[in-house]
């Protein structure tokens, strides 16, 4: 069935949640994996990150502030993410501006992570050159000994919130006449919907 304007909600986040749940239910492998595109002083860059939910109208993810993505976002806070779920034939693109989450929000998420992930975040100076994997593994072992119980939140690690300027929904059609609906945010948190040619 075609994706029709008359059949979709006026709020794009409602449609996003519907499609995200459908991908999970269909058994999509890691439906929370998204491609994050940024641009910094070295030019454009894209990589996969893990989506950690929508809150207050923004898409959340976490990273090292001194990583390439962190430095890019400090240089230019505009960014875009792309979800693609082949099992449901859906793609969602989100473009907007990014801000850092406060320390309290970052700590809340960090403490919910498995201990191994906490130690890895503390040990790794993400995106920097290291001599070998052994260097990283030794750093994790040393930190595990130093912090036998609670692992401290690294000073250079935390959350980001991408506030959308627009969200585009793409649905595959076998005849390649795909459906593309884009929601553009207007003043007053009102969304305008428009259809794009495939």
Task: Return phi, psi of residue 40, to 5°.
Answer: -135, -160
Q: Are 123 and 139 in contact (CB under 8 A)?
A: yes
The distance of Cα 68 from the centroid of its chain, to the nearest Å, equals 15
Residues 6 or more apart whose Cβ sits within 8 Å of residue 74: 40, 65
Distance CA 85, CA 92 (A): 9
Indicate if the alpha-carbon torsion angle 43, 73, 184, 47 is positive or negative.
positive
> Which SS3 state, helix, strand or coil, does residue 138 take?
helix
Question: Catalytic residue at 78?
Answer: no
Residues 6 or more apart whose Cβ sits within 8 Å of residue 132: none
Of 131, 133, 176, 186, catalytic: 176
Give the pairing type, strands 190-195 and 179-186: antiparallel
Residues involved in catalysis: 176
């Amino acid at each position: 069935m075609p994706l029709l304007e008359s059949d979709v909600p006026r709020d794009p986040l409602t449609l996003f949640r519907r499609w995200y749940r459908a991908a999970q239910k269909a058994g999509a492998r890691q439906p929370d994996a998204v491609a994050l595109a940024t641009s910094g002083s070295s030019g454009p860059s894209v990589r996969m990150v893990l989506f950690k939910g929508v809150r207050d109208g923004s898409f959340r993810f976490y990273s090292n502030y001194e990583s390439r993505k962190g430095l890019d976002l400090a240089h230019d806070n505009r960014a875009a993410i792309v979800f693609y779920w082949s099992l449901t034939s859906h793609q969602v693109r989100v473009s907007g501006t990014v801000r850092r989450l406060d320390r309290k929000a970052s700590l809340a998420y960090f403490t919910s992570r498995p201990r191994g992930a906490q130690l890895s975040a503390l040990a790794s100076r993400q995106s920097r050159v290291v001599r070998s994997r052994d260097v990283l593994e030794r750093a994790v072992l040393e930190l595990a000994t130093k912090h036998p119980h609670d692992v401290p939140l690294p000073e250079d690690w935390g959350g980001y919130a991408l506030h959308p300027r627009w969200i585009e929904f793409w649905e595959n059609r076998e005849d390649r006449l795909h459906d593309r609906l884009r929601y553009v945010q207007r003043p007053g948190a009102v969304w305008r919907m428009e259809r794009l040619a495939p």
